[in-house]
């Protein structure tokens, strides 16, 4: 009887020890997995209603201008605007070292991409330019580009140095525009020329 009791106690001890070892193994975290990145505030957010209300407050003359009007998505925190443009003359633009994503959300138009800007460029945008991330604008348009009709849901990625021009807008067009500055062009693509900065 005493031996049987002793065996039972030993077996119980072995089971408890095994369970404890299992718990220790489960709670042992590999180095580098016991920490997480620091706390952050919730992501910036604009509802469709917020966007519409802000766009509706823009000056109609600005919206009808060659640049259009825009509202920031996350001012001071991340690049990106929602832009509204109306029919009428639009600048043709090249961002020399900027990668730009465009997602059309409303309206339709004809977007020309590629080719070259037709000179002259506007007074504020000479090329070469001392700013490596300069935007070069032509009020005339683009030569030799590809014209596409774009509308809601379409996505366009303007690579560094690629001209783009809304040559025609059917009423109004709205799109989300996210620009990432200081991006090198793809291998084999010539970089934009730089003009030396003026001495101070």
Residue range 183-200: mean pLDDT, rounded:
88
pLDDT at 11: 56
Looking at per-residue pLDDT, the higher value among 12 and 197 belongs to 197
User: What burial class does residue 196 get, using C-beta atoms within 10 Å of its C-beta: 0-12 exposed, 13-18 middle, 19+ buried?
Assistant: exposed
9-23, 49-63, 117-131: range with lowest mean pLDDT: 9-23
Q: Which residue has the higher pLDDT, 7 or 75?
A: 75
Q: Each residue of 50-87: b (16+ CB within 10 Å) or e?
A: ebeebbeeeeeeebbbeebbbbebeeeeeebbbbbbbe
What is the predicted pLDDT for the residue at 182? 94
Tokens of 158: 């303007």
pLDDT digits (tens, 9 = 90+) for 53-109: 999 999 999 999 999 999 999 999 999 999 999 998 899 999 999 999 999 999 999
Instruction: Give the pLDDT band of residue 24 (cuts 50, 70, 90).
Output: low
Question: What pLDDT is attached to residue 29?
Answer: 74
Give residue 32's pLDDT. 82
pLDDT of residue 19: 55
Q: What is the pLDDT of residues 131-151, one digit of tens each?
A: 999 999 999 999 999 999 999
> Nearest-CA neighbor of 118 among 100, 145, 151?
145
Whether the Cβ atoms of residue 101 and residue 170 lie closer than 8 Å to each other: no
pLDDT reported for residue 3: 57
CA gap 125, 143 in Å, rounded? 18
- Residue scoring higher pLDDT (7 or 46): 46
- The DSSP code sequence of 17-79 is HHHHHHHHHHH---TTSS--PPP-PPPP---HHHHHHHHHTS-HHHHTSSS-EEEEEETTTEE
What per-residue confidence (pLDDT) applies to 198?
77
Radius of gyration of the chain (CA): 30
Cβ-Cβ contacts under 8 Å for 116 (sequence gap 6 or more): 142, 143, 144, 163
pLDDT more than 70, % of the chain: 86
Class for the domain spanning 58-180:
mainly beta
**Backbone dihedral angles phi then psi of residue 186, each to the nearest 5 degrees:** -60, 155
Which of 156, 162, 147 minimizes the C-alpha distance to 178? Answer: 156
- Predicted pLDDT of residue 57: 97
pLDDT confidence of residue 10: 47
Six-digit token string for 114: 């590629």
| pLDDT value at 52 more than 70 | yes
pLDDT score recorded for residue 25? 54
């Amino acid at each position: 009887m005493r031996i049987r009791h002793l065996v039972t106690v030993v077996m119980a001890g072995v089971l408890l020890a095994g369970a404890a070892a299992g718990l220790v193994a489960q709670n042992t975290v590999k180095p580098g997995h016991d920490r997480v990145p620091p706390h952050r505030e919730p992501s910036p957010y604009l509802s469709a209603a917020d966007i519409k209300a802000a766009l509706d407050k823009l000056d109609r003359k600005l919206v009808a201008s060659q640049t259009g009007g825009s509202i920031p998505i996350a001012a001071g925190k991340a690049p990106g605007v929602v832009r509204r443009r109306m029919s009428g003359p639009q600048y043709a633009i090249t961002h020399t070292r900027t990668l730009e994503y465009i997602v059309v959300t409303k309206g339709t138009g004809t977007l020309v991409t590629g080719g070259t800007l037709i000179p002259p460029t506007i007074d504020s945008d000479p090329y070469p330019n001392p700013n490596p991330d300069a935007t070069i604008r032509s009020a005339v348009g683009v030569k030799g580009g590809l014209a596409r009709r774009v509308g809601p849901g379409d996505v366009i990625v303007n690579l560094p140095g690629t001209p783009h021009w809304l040559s025609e807008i059917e009423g109004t067009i709205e799109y989300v525009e996210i620009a990432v500055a200081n991006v090198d062009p793809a291998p084999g693509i010539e970089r934009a020329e730089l003009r030396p900065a003026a001495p101070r």
